[in-house]
Amino acid sequence: MAQTIADVKKSLTDRFIADPVIIAQYQLTPGNTFDQEFSAVSVESILFDDLALCAWTLQQMFDAHRAYVDATLLTKKAHRPRWYEGKALAFQFGRALPANGDDVYDNTGVTAAQIAAEKIVKYAKAVEVPKGMRIKVAGEASGDLVPLTAPELAAFTAYMEEIKDGGVKLYCESKPADSLKLDAIIYYNPLVLDATGARLDGTNNTPVQDAVKDFLKTGMPFNGLFVREKLVDALQKVDGVVITDLNSIHVRYGALAWAAVDVEYQPDAGWMHIAAPADLTLQFIPHEPL
């Protein structure tokens, strides 16, 4: 909320009467307000009226200048990919932008819960391509990444087309995840895990499988590289896992053929998942201490 002249004066006078030297010189009563100690026609009150007016006027001038500079930058400076990512995450499904052409939603009277429900884009990455900007997005359901529905993607695309820089070609997409097929041998500590990989204390029956899923969701950034050795590092952090030996890793997008991954892989959709239980093969072998 913008400050008024009265707000500025109160801020000045509150500090004035709280000063120990001022209290002693004027013999003020601690705890009293400025208005309780000085009349409206006193020299002190008139002086603070003038100071407050000057400070408030200067503040308005700075605010106006900042608004002018911001508006000028919006019209003169082309936006970088990170700006598009931020705008993608700010998209509110089912809500129109202001009619004045502003690229920020007017959420006056809208609750925080409504805004959160409308912000369906949870992950976004803008990538420059030869003919424009490719914007990959995904939503979230039950803690997992999901592609936007056709109506959601259509609305999102219309929103991005409305706010984008002139002359920039956008390619907005929200695709199903690339699929991962993993075959690994897990050498485990028999004091912590059993032959199925479950914890002996009964707290988790699938700690290794969960680590694979967590790595695909949080261990690699959205549209980041899948790195073979980083997956190994993630599995090695599981309590009870002694050695991880990856026999093979295969990936594919859509109906394309499976392809082996030796070092790293860039998911086309921006994210990956284990499409079927049979695609995750784990052999557990006890590792006896030397």
Q: What pTM does this model have?
A: 0.68
pLDDT at 99: 87
Cα separation of 180 and 252, whole Å?
A: 7
Return d(Cα 264, Cα 285) in angstroms, integer. 27
Position 279 scores a pLDDT of 93
Residue length, the chain? 290
The pLDDT value given to residue 54: 93
Residues sharing a CB contact under 8 Å with residue 90, sequence separation 6 or more, in sequence order: 104, 105, 119
Domain definitions of the chain by residue range: 5-76, 81-173, 178-286
Report angle CA 277, 279, 283 to the nearest 5 degrees.
Answer: 90
pLDDT digit string, tens, across residues 39-56: 888 998 899 899 989 989
**Do the Cβ atoms of 180 and 273 come closer than 8 Å?**
yes
Mean pLDDT, residues 246-275: 92
pLDDT band at 102 (very low <50, low <70, confident <90, very high): confident
Cβ density class 164-191: b for 16+ within 10 Å, e for less? beeeeebebbbbebbbbbbebebebebe
pLDDT at 37: 87
Query: pLDDT by residue (tens digit) across 85-94?
Result: 999 999 999 9
Reported as a pLDDT band with limits 50, 70 and 90, residue 67 is: confident
Contact 106, 169 (CB under 8 A): no
Q: Which H or E run includes 209?
A: helix 207-214
Tell me, what amino acid is at 178?
Answer: D
